[in-house]
Amino acid sequence: MDINNFIRDNVKAMKPYSSARDEFEETADIYLDANENPYSNGLNRYPDPYQKGLKQLISEIKGIPVNNILLGNGSDEVIDLILRAFCEPGEDNLIITPPTYGMYKVAADLNNINIKESLLNKDFSLNTENLISKIDRNTKLIILCSPNNPSGNCMAKEDIISVLNTGKLLVLDEAYIDFAEGKSLLKELNNYPNLIIAQTLSKAYGLAGLRLGMCFASQEIIEVLNKIKPPYNINELSQQWAKVYLKDARKNSERKAKILRNKEILYKELKYLNCVKKIYPSDANFFLVKMKDARLVYEKLLKKSIVLRDRSNQPLCDNCLRITVGTEPENEKLIEELKKL
């Protein structure tokens, strides 16, 4: 695969911004190169534009070399960078598979990239035949979400592979994959140079407020994204805090295990409720639940200060609420209120 066939012409032609920290990477005694305030307060210096220390740690955790990693201000930034690197505005299109995460369409609309939609099957699996039939000469990207938001299920590996075999760039959003042991396609990166995987520290790692998204791809793709990213897109505090959190592997896996235990209990409780018609299988930290009357449940719970996500207006999600797994007391309170309905 020649990545040059995918990169936008203006991106190919442009010279990236060269920051002071790009031009001098060694350590020195005196830094008078970046117009910073010289008085130390812990944050007076610009952060490392390539986040080497943090990437090293992520590399060890994920088993992916540093040169195959790009970090973004949340995976939302990662997705936006990918669109801007590869899709020619007003000309190229990308394919998404509704119902899915809403930011793909927002990012495409913002960048004036045409969207094609291939609806998932009723069980939220990929309709690969339909998806592949939507590909035309202007299709640059396909974005899949696994586990999918809002349905919660992982896409079948063989379906993802058949999309990869089209040779188009495939962005696989694995935001919730840490809840789905053994289902990541990270190991396929070596086999498919057209595969780009997005993950995040916002979900299983509990760092949504930090804004740290991860992109794993071939070195060539990572180089293009590095070329166009804002030089200091990950601030110093985020880099520091992420390192502290990621080093505490035991606490991280304990918290994740707790969420998975709570998820099982929540499932058992939801199953017997009168207002619930169906709970869709979930590989994530939430359930998509078909209600008898979703709006009524949503509004009644809101009055009790409990907020769920009403997904009823999404395709295939008629009368569906998305419920995140909370703490034990939060889940108990939810069930208590649902029983009263």
Ligand X SMILES: Cc1ncc(COP(=O)(O)O)c(C=O)c1O
Q: Report in angstroms how near the CB of residue 149 gets to ligand X at its nearest.
A: 4
Which CB, 183 or 300, lies closer to ligand X?
A: 183
Q: Report in angstroms how near the CB of residue 229 gets to ligand X at its nearest.
A: 15
Q: Report in angstroms how near the CB of residue 273 gets to ligand X at its nearest.
A: 25
**Does 200 contact ligand X by CB under 6 A?**
yes
* From 194, 202, 282, 324, residue interacting with ligand X (rule: CB under 6 A): 202
Q: Report in angstroms how near the CB of residue 213 gets to ligand X at its nearest.
A: 4
Q: Report in angstroms how near the CB of residue 10 gets to ligand X at its nearest.
A: 26
* From 110, 208, 249, 257, residue interacting with ligand X (rule: CB under 6 A): 208
Which CB, 3 or 142, lies closer to ligand X?
A: 142
Rounded distance, CA 64 to CA 55, Å? 10
Q: Of 301, 280, 300, give the one whose Cα is nearest residue 290.
A: 280
Q: Is 239 left (phi over 0), alpha (psi -120 to 50) or beta?
A: alpha
Rounded distance, CA 230 to CA 209, Å? 20
How many CB atoms lie under 10 A from the CB of residue 337?
A: 16
**Does 101 contact ligand X by CB under 6 A?**
yes
For residue 126, the Cα-to-chain-centroid distance in whole angstroms is 18
**Does 99 contact ligand X by CB under 6 A?**
no
Cα-trace Rg, the chain: 22
Rounded distance, CA 254 to CA 245, Å? 13
**Does 149 contact ligand X by CB under 6 A?**
yes
∠ CA 317-124-271, rounded to 5°: 65
Size of the site for ligand X (CB under 6 A): 12
Residues 6 or more apart in contact with residue 120 via CB below 8 angstroms: 97, 98, 99, 100, 126, 127, 148, 151, 316
Q: Report in angstroms how near the CB of residue 312 gets to ligand X at its nearest.
A: 18
Q: Nearest-CB residue to ligand X?
A: 74
Site for ligand X in 213-232 (CB under 6 A): 213
Three-state secondary structure call for residue 258: helix
Site stretch for ligand X (CB under 6 A), options 110-118, 200-208, 253-261, 303-311? 200-208
Rounded distance, CA 145 to CA 153, Å? 9
**Does 47 contact ligand X by CB under 6 A?**
no
Residue with tokens 């935001």: 175
Which CB, 93 or 100, lies closer to ligand X?
A: 100
Site for ligand X in 49-78 (CB under 6 A): 74-76
Which CB, 83 or 175, lies closer to ligand X?
A: 175
Q: Report in angstroms how near the CB of residue 150 gets to ligand X at its nearest.
A: 8
Rounded distance, CA 41 to CA 321, Å? 46
Three-state secondary structure call for residue 3: helix
Q: Which residues bind ligand X (CB under 6 A)?
A: 74-76, 101, 145, 149, 173, 175, 200, 202, 208, 213
